[in-house]
Chains A and B, each alone.
Chain A
Amino acid sequence: MGKLTVWITAIAGSIVYFYLLDLLVMKAFFGDTLGLNLFPK
C-alpha cells in the first residue's frame, strides 16, 4: 500500500470512529430530546 493510501485510510477510519463515538454519547444522553432514542425510558 502506498504511503498516502495508508494515511488517508487511517485518517478516514479515525474520523469515522470518533464521529460514531460522539454520536453514541449524544444519543445516550439526549436521545429523547434529539429524537434518537438509544435508551428509551
Chain B
Amino acid sequence: MRRKKYAIGMLVFLMVLQLLSLSTAIVAAAEAPKEGAAQEAPKEGAAKEEAGPVFEAPKLKPGDYPQTSWFNSREAVWVASQVHLFFGAFVLAVPIFVLVIEGIGVGTKDERYDHMSHEIMKVTMTAFSLTALSGGVLTIFLLLFYPDFFKYLVRLFQPTVIIYAFAFLGEAVFTYTYYYSWDALRYGTKKWIHLTLGLFLNTFGLTILFIADAWTTFMMSPVGINADGARTAESIWELIHNPLWNALNLHRFIANLAYGGAIVGAYAAYKFISSEREEDKAHYDWMGYTSNFIAISALLPLPFAGYILMAEVYAYSQQMGITAMGGIMAWLFIVQAVLIGAVFLGANYYLWCGMGKISGAERYTPYIKLIATVIICAFLVWLTPHTIVMTGKEMKIIGGSHSPLLGPLGIMPAKNTAANTMILFTFLSFFLYRRGNKGLTVPWAGTGTTFMSAFFAVAWLNIIACGLYGYLVPTAFKVRSSVPQVLSTLSVIVVLLIVDGLMQKNSKSLGPIKWGKMSPRSQYALFLLAISFTWLMALMGYIRSALRQHWHIYTVMRDASPDAFTPTIGHAVIVATTATVIFMGLVIFCFWIAHISTMKQAPIPGIAGASESHGRKHG
C-alpha cells in the first residue's frame, strides 16, 4: 500500500513538473517584449543616428550565401532536412503506437502484444540517435549555407527554440527510461508507471513536432510581422498560430502514424522472409499485420488531412494555391496520384493475400476482384490531369486548355469522388478480412449483413451523386460537395464497425488464423508500402517547400541565393530518391543493430574470460 502511494506520488510530481514547464514556457512567450520596441521610440525623434537597428528581415544578395565546391548548398540542406524528417516522423510515430499496443496488451492480458511493442521500441532506439544526428547535420548546413536567414528565424522564434532544445532533453530522458525499464516495470502498478512514462515521451514528441511545424508553416504563411519582417504581433503565439500551423500539425501527425506503421511493417516483412522456424514466421506475420493495420488506419483519413492543408493554402493565398495545383507544380500532383495508387493497391493486396490464411475467408474471394477493379478505376481518375502548363502547339492538339474528353475527370469533384471511393473500398477489404473467420451466431446476423451491405452501397452511390452534383454547380458549391462525400465515407466506417462489432458477439471461429502461412510475395507488398510512403513523403515535402518559390519567408524575405529557382520535376525527384536511399540505408543499419544486439557468440573453449557469466542473455 505504501509503495502504491509512493508510485502515485511520483507520477503526480512528474505531471506537475511537466505542467509547470509548459506553462512557464507559454507565459514567457506571451510576455516576451516586442523586439525593437525599445529602439523604435528614439527613432521617432530627430536624432536618427542614436537608434539601434530595428530587428527586421535582412535583405540579402547572392554574395551573402556561402558556397562550397563539394556540393550544392541548397541540395545539401534539402537532403539533410528530408532525411531528418524521415527519421523524425518515424521516432515520433513509433512511441504512439507502441504505447497503444502496450496498452492493448495490458487490457487483453495477451503477452504477444507486450513482446511486440517491446521489440518495435528496440528497433527504434538507434533511430532516435540518427534523428538527432541528422538534425545536427541539418543545423550545421543551415548555419553554413543560410546563416542570415537562420539568424533571423531563430531570433524571431527565440522562445520556441529554447523550448525545442529542452523538449529534446525531455524526449531523450523518457526514451531511454521507457525502453530500458520495460522488464523492470512489467506488471501491476509498475506497468502503469511504465505506461505513464510512455505518455510523457509522447507529449515531448508532440511538442517537438508542433514547434518545428510552427517554423515551417511560418515560412509559408507569415503573420504578425510587417513587410520588412519586424514583429508587429504582441506575442509570439500569433506567429506560431499562423494559418497553416494546425493543418500541418494534423496532417503530419496522421501521416507519421501511417509512415511509422509502414516502416515497422517492412521490418516485420524482412524478418518474416528470413525466419526459418514456424513460430518466428507466425510472430513476424502477426507483427506485419498489426503494423499494416496501423498504417492503413492512419492512411484512410490522411487524404482528408491533406485536403484541409491545401484548402488552407488556398485560403491564405490564392496565388500559392494556383502555383501548387494549376501552375508549374501541377504535374507533381499526378506523380503523387501514381504513388497513392501504389500505396492503396499495395495495402489492399497485402490484405487479400492475408485472407488466404484465414479459414472461412474463401467466401469473400469473389469480392476481391470487384474491389480491385473499383480501386484501379478510381486510381485512374485520380491520376487524370486537368490544368497543365502547355505550349500553344500542345493546346491546339488537345483542342483547348483542357482535354475535352478527359478534362472533366481532372477537376475536384471527380478527384474527391475517386479518393473517397478508394478509401471506402480499402476499408471494405479490411472489413472483410476482419470478418473472415468469424462464424456469426447472433439471430439477426442475416438482417444485419443485409443492412450493412445496403448502407455501404447507398453510401457509395451518394458519393458518386455528390460528385456529379459538383459538376452542375458553381465553384463554391462544387468544393463544398466534398463534405457530404467525406461524411458518407466516415459514416460507413463508423456504422459498419459498430454493427459488425455487435454482430460478432459470441461468434465462433471457423478455424484458426494460420499466422505464418503467407507467401513471400505478400511481404514484398509491405516493402512496396514502406518505399512508396518514404518517397511520397519526400515528394510532398518538396512541393510544400517549393510553394514558397523564391522566398525564404513568403512575400517578406526574399531568397537571393543563386539556387532560388524552382528546379525541374525530373531533378527534384532525383534529389528525393537520393534522400530516400540514404534513409533506407540508415534504417537498415538500425534494424541490423537491433538484430545484432540479440546475438551472442558461442563461447570458444580455452579463451580466457569465456566463462558462465558471459552466457547470460543480454538486452
Chain A residues in the interface with B (C-beta under 8 A): 1, 3, 6-7, 10-11, 13-15, 17-18, 21-22, 25-26, 29-30
A34 to chain B, nearest CB (A): 10
Q: Give the residue of A7, A18, A29 whose beta carbon is less than 8 angstroms from that of B462.
A: A18
A30 and B488 within 8 A (CB): no
A21-B488 contact given A14-B454, A29-B480, CB 8 Å threshold: yes
Least distance between A14 CB and chain B CB atoms (Å):
4
**Alpha-carbon distance A24/B446, docked complex (angstroms):** 31
Say yes or no: is B69 at the interface (Cβ < 8 Å to chain A).
no
What residues of A have a CB within 8 angstroms of the CB of B458 in the complex?
11, 14-15, 17-18
Interface centre among A6, A10, A13 (most CB of B within 10 A): A10
**A30–B480 touching, CB < 8 Å:** yes
The answer to whether residues A30 and B477 also contact, given A6-B447, A14-B454 and a CB cut-off of 8 A, is yes
Q: Across the interface, which residues of A come within 8 angstroms of B451, CB to CB?
A: 6, 10, 13
Q: Contact at A25–B483, with CB atoms within 8 Å? A: yes
> Which 9 pairs between the two chains have the least Cβ-Cβ distance?
A10-B454, A14-B458, A18-B462, A10-B451, A22-B484, A11-B454, A14-B455, A25-B484, A6-B450
Kindly state whether residue B459 has any CB partner on chain A within 8 Å: yes
- The answer to whether B12 has its CB under 8 Å from any CB of chain A is no
Residue B487 interfacial (CB < 8 Å): yes
Please determine whether A21 and B487 come into contact, CB atoms closer than 8 angstroms: yes
Residues of A within 8 Å of B484, CB to CB, are: 18, 21-22, 25-26
B450 adjacent to A7 (CB under 8 Å): yes
A8 to B484, CA, bound (A): 23
Could you count the A-B residue pairs with CB atoms below 8 Å apart for me: how many are there? 53
- Interface range on chain B (Cβ under 8 Å from partner): 20 to 34
Q: Is B491's CB within 8 Å of the partner chain A?
A: yes
Would you give 5 A-B contacts (Cβ < 8 Å), ordered by A?
A6-B450, A10-B455, A17-B458, A29-B483, A30-B480
Known: A30-B477, A30-B480. A18 touches B450 (CB 8 A): no
Complex contact A26–B450 (CB within 8 A)? no
Give the complex CA separation of A7 and B453 in angstroms. Answer: 9
Q: CA A22 – CA B457 in complex, angstroms? A: 16
Across the interface, which residues of B come within 8 angstroms of A11, CB to CB? Answer: 454, 457-458
Residues of A within 8 A of B457 (CB): 11, 14
Partner of A26, one of B453, B480, B491: B480
Question: In the complex, what's the smallest C-beta–C-beta distance from A25 to chain B, in angstroms?
Answer: 5
B251: shortest Cβ distance to chain A, in Å?
22
Chain B residue nearest to A29 in the complex (CB):
B480
What's the minimum C-beta distance from A38 to chain B, rounded to whole angstroms?
Answer: 14
Partner among B446, B453, B480 whose Cβ is within 8 Å of the Cβ of A25: B480
Does B85 sit within 8 A of A, measured CB to CB? no
B476 contacts which chain A residues (CB < 8 A)?
30
Question: Given contacts A14-B454, A18-B459, A25-B484, could you give 4 more A-B pairs where the C-beta distance is less than 8 Å?
Answer: A14-B459, A17-B458, A18-B462, A30-B480
Q: A29 to B462, alpha carbons, bound, how many Å?
A: 18
Residue of chain B at shortest CB distance from A8: B454
Cα–Cα distance between A25 and B446 once the two chains are bound (Å)? 32
Determine the chain A residues whose CB is within 8 A of the CB of B483 once the complex forms.
25, 29
Q: Give the contacts of B448-472 with A (CB-CB under 8 A).
A: 450-451, 453-455, 457-459, 462, 466
- CB pair B462–A22 under 8 Å, yes or no, is yes
> Chain B residues with Cβ under 8 A from A14's Cβ?
454-455, 457-459
B447 — nearest CB in chain A belongs to which residue?
A: A6
